[in-house]
Amino acid sequence: MNKQELLAKLDELKSDYVRIQSDLDKLEYVKGRVSSAEGQLIRLEGEIAEVNRQLEALEEAQK
Protein backbone atom coordinates (compact mmCIF):
# COMPACT_ATOMS: atom_id res chain seq x y z
CA MET A 1 0.00 0.00 0.00
CA ASN A 2 1.13 3.51 -0.65
CA LYS A 3 0.99 6.36 1.85
CA GLN A 4 -2.35 7.72 0.62
CA GLU A 5 -3.98 4.28 0.87
CA LEU A 6 -2.60 3.78 4.37
CA LEU A 7 -3.84 7.20 5.48
CA ALA A 8 -7.30 6.47 4.03
CA LYS A 9 -7.35 3.10 5.82
CA LEU A 10 -6.30 4.80 9.06
CA ASP A 11 -9.11 7.36 8.73
CA GLU A 12 -11.61 4.56 8.11
CA LEU A 13 -10.41 2.58 11.14
CA LYS A 14 -10.53 5.65 13.38
CA SER A 15 -14.06 6.42 12.20
CA ASP A 16 -15.15 2.86 12.96
CA TYR A 17 -13.49 3.07 16.37
CA VAL A 18 -15.35 6.27 17.29
CA ARG A 19 -18.67 4.78 16.11
CA ILE A 20 -18.20 1.58 18.10
CA GLN A 21 -17.06 3.53 21.17
CA SER A 22 -20.29 5.52 20.97
CA ASP A 23 -22.29 2.30 20.65
CA LEU A 24 -20.43 0.90 23.66
CA ASP A 25 -21.28 3.97 25.72
CA LYS A 26 -24.95 3.54 24.83
CA LEU A 27 -24.87 -0.16 25.72
CA GLU A 28 -23.25 0.59 29.08
CA TYR A 29 -25.91 3.22 29.78
CA VAL A 30 -28.75 0.76 29.22
CA LYS A 31 -26.81 -2.04 30.92
CA GLY A 32 -26.53 -4.02 27.69
CA ARG A 33 -23.97 -6.63 26.78
CA VAL A 34 -20.74 -4.83 25.94
CA SER A 35 -18.35 -7.74 25.34
CA SER A 36 -18.86 -7.78 21.57
CA ALA A 37 -18.24 -4.04 21.24
CA GLU A 38 -15.19 -4.28 23.49
CA GLY A 39 -13.81 -7.07 21.31
CA GLN A 40 -14.31 -4.97 18.19
CA LEU A 41 -12.50 -2.04 19.83
CA ILE A 42 -9.55 -4.26 20.73
CA ARG A 43 -9.38 -5.58 17.17
CA LEU A 44 -9.52 -2.04 15.75
CA GLU A 45 -6.78 -0.87 18.12
CA GLY A 46 -4.56 -3.61 16.74
CA GLU A 47 -5.36 -2.70 13.15
CA ILE A 48 -4.72 1.00 13.82
CA ALA A 49 -1.38 0.15 15.40
CA GLU A 50 -0.43 -1.99 12.40
CA VAL A 51 -1.30 0.74 9.90
CA ASN A 52 0.72 3.22 11.96
CA ARG A 53 3.68 0.80 11.88
CA GLN A 54 3.34 0.49 8.11
CA LEU A 55 3.25 4.28 7.75
CA GLU A 56 6.38 4.65 9.89
CA ALA A 57 8.19 1.99 7.86
CA LEU A 58 7.16 3.69 4.64
CA GLU A 59 8.40 7.06 5.86
CA GLU A 60 11.70 5.53 7.02
CA ALA A 61 12.16 3.90 3.63
CA GLN A 62 11.66 7.25 1.90
CA LYS A 63 14.45 8.91 3.90
| C-alpha to C-alpha distance for 34 and 31, rounded to whole angstroms | 8
pLDDT per residue over 2-54, tens digit each?
A: 999 999 999 999 999 999 999 999 999 898 889 999 999 999 999 999 999 99
Determine the pLDDT at residue 1.
85
**pTM (whole model) above 0.75:** yes
Radius of gyration, alpha carbons of the chain: 15
CA separation, residue 58 to residues 17, 21, 48, 49 (Å): 24, 29, 15, 14
Q: Which domain holds residue 14?
A: 3-62
Query: What are the residues whose beta carbons fall under 8 Å from the beta carbon of 20, sequence distance 6 or more?
Result: 37, 40, 41, 44
Determine the pLDDT at residue 22.
95
Determine the pLDDT at residue 62.
87
Determine the pLDDT at residue 63.
79
| C-alpha to C-alpha distance for 1 and 54, rounded to whole angstroms | 9
